[in-house]
């Protein structure tokens, strides 16, 4: 096979590999943002002393739990309260985050100076892979 064809195939192979890696990275990033959004809504409910989740929030959280193989068997039951849902999402979160030495850093944006907002309860699917 001529050297030009070999080089062309090698480039195509690397490009396809890089696209797969990029899609996986975006999917992980989108899932992290979605979990952060859900945790923020749960925190708002917790601060308002609400113990039960609105149905739309419950459905969104249950779907994330069902799609997360890293959740332990005990947490795979549908959370009945705000605190149980938070615990399940906190269990998933470290498995989604890239390992960048996050020791000692907040994991969901809580206490990072973000303005608190009221729960919007507009939980759509996380964005599709880009």
Q: CA-CA distances (angstroms) from residue 4 to 1, 8, 9, 11, 16?
A: 8, 6, 9, 11, 18
How far apart are alpha carbons 4 and 30 in whole angstroms?
38
pTM over 0.85? The answer is: no
Q: Give start and end residues of each alpha helix (H) in 1-130.
A: 3-47, 55-66, 82-96
Overall average pLDDT of the 114-126 stretch: 48
Token pair, residue 115, equals 């303005």
Residue whose structure tokens are 């992290």: 32
Task: Render pLDDT for 49-104 as a digit per residue (tens, 0 to 9).
Answer: 999 999 999 999 999 988 887 766 555 578 889 999 998 898 888 887 766 544 44
Cβ atoms within 10 A of the Cβ of 130, count?
Answer: 10
Buried b (16+ CB within 10 A) or exposed e, 92-118: bbeebeeeeeeeeeeebeeeeeeeeee
């Amino acid at each position: 096979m001529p050297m030009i064809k070999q080089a062309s195939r090698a480039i195509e192979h690397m490009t396809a590999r890089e696209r797969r890696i990029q899609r996986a990275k975006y999917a992980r990033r989108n899932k992290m943002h979605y979990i952060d959004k859900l945790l923020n809504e749960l925190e708002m409910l917790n601060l308002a002393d609400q113990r039960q989740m609105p149905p739309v929030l419950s459905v969104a959280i249950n779907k994330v739990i069902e799609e997360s193989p890293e959740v332990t068997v005990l947490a795979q039951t549908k959370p009945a309260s705000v605190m149980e849902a938070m615990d399940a999402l906190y269990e998933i979160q470290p498995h989604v985050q890239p390992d960048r030495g996050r020791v000692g850093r907040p994991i969901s944006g809580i206490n990072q100076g973000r303005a608190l907002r009221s729960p919007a309860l507009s939980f759509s699917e996380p964005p599709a892979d880009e």
